[in-house]
């Protein structure tokens, strides 16, 4: 058995997500793009790539949600993802106001992402649990940064110190490592790659990309506030974080946009390669990371359990 191409056919019936959600997503893009015009060059490029990755996810999800496939998993979860993306509203006026809106939206968005991940248990087994734990970790550590910014502005953000951004970057790394480990296991053993598993992985990679988008959005906006308030360069540690996420976002968004042409295998291979680079960059910035506890055998076992439940 080989990893199959996604076989999509346009749905004749009603769309699975609401017109309101799609309208809000368009509004979010326009508002975000308007604010990004005020970003200095040192943060503008990475923020633009972040927005392009957001657009890539939305556009591909819209294709999935309006198509029939061999299962209902991909279109149904794509519709759930679009409704989740629409929870982000009110990105307007200034970078400071964007951060406030990020803080308001992310708890609802994170809870919705965990719900989508949990719905994949029938395909990937208990692997949903560490993935959801990693999303909780991102939510918790990002909230700490955003709370501090809302209460104290830039005063208590030790700009340039590892302590500020290290926890959220390591949570993001944990999520990337988990999903990359599943992707690599599937690539190495095609018997673990039925349609439900590859479709679940497609959704997980879009969820991962969206988490990168959200963290990149927050950190690039904070960096912009630093430059605007102090008229200074971005501290090296923040610059390294932005660059590491930028590389992954560019690669994943390109693969997501071309998914229906090149197939799932290319997306999985891209994730594995980019994750290795991401690990290397973060190791150079923060040191060795020891948060990955899943073994290849454990991943294969959980995937096998999920696959066996599909045929029962």
Following DSSP, what letter does each residue of 103-170 receive, concatenated? HHHHHHHHHHHHHHHHTTHHHHGGGHHHHHHHHHHHHHHHHHHHHHHHHHTTTTS-TT-HHHHHHHHH
Which pLDDT tens digit goes with each residue over 59-113? 999 999 888 765 779 999 999 999 999 988 767 778 888 888 888 899 999 999 9
Evaluate if residue 13 carries a pLDDT over 50.
no
Evaluate if residue 312 carries a pLDDT over 50.
no
Q: Which residue has the higher pLDDT, 255 or 230?
A: 255
Instruction: Kindly list the domain boundaries of the chain, sorted by start residue.
Output: 16-310
pLDDT at residue 291, as a whole number: 61
Which pLDDT tens digit goes with each residue over 264-285? 999 999 999 999 999 999 988 8
Give phi and psi for 216, each to the nearest 5.
-60, -40
Query: Up-side HSE of residue 134: CA atoms within 13 Å toward CB?
Result: 27
Evaluate if residue 193 carries a pLDDT over 80.
yes
């Amino acid at each position: 058995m080989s990893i199959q191409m996604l076989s999509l056919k346009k749905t004749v019936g009603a769309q699975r997500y609401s017109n309101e959600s799609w309208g809000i997503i368009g509004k979010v893009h326009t508002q975000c793009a308007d604010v990004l015009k005020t970003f200095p060059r040192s943060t503008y490029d990475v923020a633009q790539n972040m927005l392009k990755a957001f657009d890539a996810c939305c556009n591909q999800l819209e294709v999935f949600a309006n198509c029939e496939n061999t299962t209902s998993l991909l279109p149904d979860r794509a519709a759930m993802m679009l409704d989740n993306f629409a929870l982000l509203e009110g990105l307007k006026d200034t970078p400071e106001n964007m951060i406030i809106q990020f803080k308001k939206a992310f708890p609802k968005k994170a809870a919705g992402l965990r719900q989508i991940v949990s719905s994949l248990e029938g395909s990937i087994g208990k692997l949903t649990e560490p993935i959801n734990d990693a999303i909780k970790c991102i939510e918790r550590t990002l909230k700490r940064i955003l709370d501090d910014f809302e209460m104290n502005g830039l005063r208590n953000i030790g700009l340039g110190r590892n302590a500020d951004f290290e926890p959220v970057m390591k949570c993001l790394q944990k999520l990337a490592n988990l999903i990359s480990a599943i992707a690599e296991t599937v690539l190495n053993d095609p018997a673990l790659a039925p349609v439900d598993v590859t479709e679940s992985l497609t959704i997980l990679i879009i969820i991962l990309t969206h988490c990168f988008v959200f963290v990149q959005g927050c950190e690039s906006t904070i960096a912009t506030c630093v430059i605007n308030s102090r008229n200074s360069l971005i501290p090296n540690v923040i610059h390294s974080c932005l660059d590491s996420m930028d590389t992954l976002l560019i690669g994943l968004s390109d693969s997501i946009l071309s998914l229906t042409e090149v197939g799932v295998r290319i997306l999985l291979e891209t994730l594995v390669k980019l994750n290795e680079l991401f690990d290397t960059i973060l190791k150079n910035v923060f040191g060795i990371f020891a948060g990955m506890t899943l073994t290849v055998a454990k991943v294969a076992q959980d995937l096998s359990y999920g696959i066996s439940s599909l045929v029962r």
